[in-house]
Amino acid sequence: MRQNDTQNLALMSTLPGFAEVRSLRAHFTSFAFEPHAHAEYVLGTVQDGVQRYSHRFGESYLQPGGLFTINPDEIHSGAPALQSGYAYRVVYVPQQTVLEAFADVPGADHPRYFLRPEAHDPELARRFSYAMSLFDEDYPENRLEAESHFVACLRDFFTRHAVPDDAEHVGANVRLAARLKCFLYEHAAEGVSLDELAQEAGLSKYHVLRTFKAATGIAPHAFLNQCRVGLARQALEKGHSLTEAALAAGFSDQSHLSRRFKALVGMSPGQYRRQLSR
């Protein structure tokens, strides 16, 4: 898909007061994300327009009031459903941050799991949008109010729409895929062959391909590219140049990094690096 950058805007930043949480504010009219996943929970809302949203259950159309509720490592993608596009606001929240948010709740020491990748909760969507507007417009003047609203929204995302994840529902194929994902991440910079992945799993390469895709929704090479983009993003956040980030992540050159990075992050590596310096 040809992308018109004058009609696609994505702004990524660290959420003030929450150094471990990333925030994305975006408006897309032609850009489509490739299927991908994140190590963190993805929480957010569509603020304008309609997004066509693909996930493990099929496809949904999110309008204002629709919430993103995506678990770590859950494959998803998104694209505009209308020519006018859509605008949304998303935060990426590490699992440890969620556990800390529920530290005062007895018996809430299990990770939480969203049963569906989207939820209809207009009241929470309005509160979440308001909290994000405080960070955008009135922070740090209203720092306490912004941070308090965000924590309250975070807890309501999980108390209203998630359940404790005790791992009893996780089958053998999912556990195997989780182990292989760790292996791919650990060796992302140097690359992994299908034979090496099969040896790690103790299965034939044909069985590995079928099992991995059935459990995750994407092929191993697509997950490897995702890991490499994550490594490049970390390198950029540490102040490395685009060339250094590409090499550190195992990409053959900067142009290869740029193509993969934008398809998964929604902006080019150069745009991402410039936003970090603001």
The band of 39, judged by pLDDT with boundaries at 50, 70 and 90, is confident
- What's the chain's Rg over C-alpha atoms? 19
The band of 41, judged by pLDDT with boundaries at 50, 70 and 90, is very high
> Higher pLDDT residue, 57 or 166?
57
Cα separation, 265 vs 237, whole angstroms? 14
Cα separation, 109 vs 220, whole angstroms? 31
pLDDT digits (tens, 9 = 90+) for 119-146: 889 899 999 999 999 998 766 777 888 9
- Tokens 């490499």, residue? 228
pLDDT digits (tens, 9 = 90+) for 60-112: 899 988 898 998 888 899 999 999 999 999 999 999 999 888 888 776 667 78
pLDDT digits (tens, 9 = 90+) for 172-231: 777 788 888 889 989 999 888 989 998 888 888 888 888 888 888 888 998 999 899 999
Give the pTM.
0.72
Please choose, from the candidates 210, 276, 209, 267, the residue with its C-alpha nearest in 3D space to the C-alpha of residue 239.
Answer: 276
Three-class DSSP category at 11? strand
pLDDT of res. 3: 40
- Structural domains of the chain, with CATH: 9-164 (2.60.120.280), 172-276 (1.10.10.60)
The residue-averaged pLDDT of 236-260 equals 90
The answer to whether 97 and 22 are in contact (CB under 8 A) is no
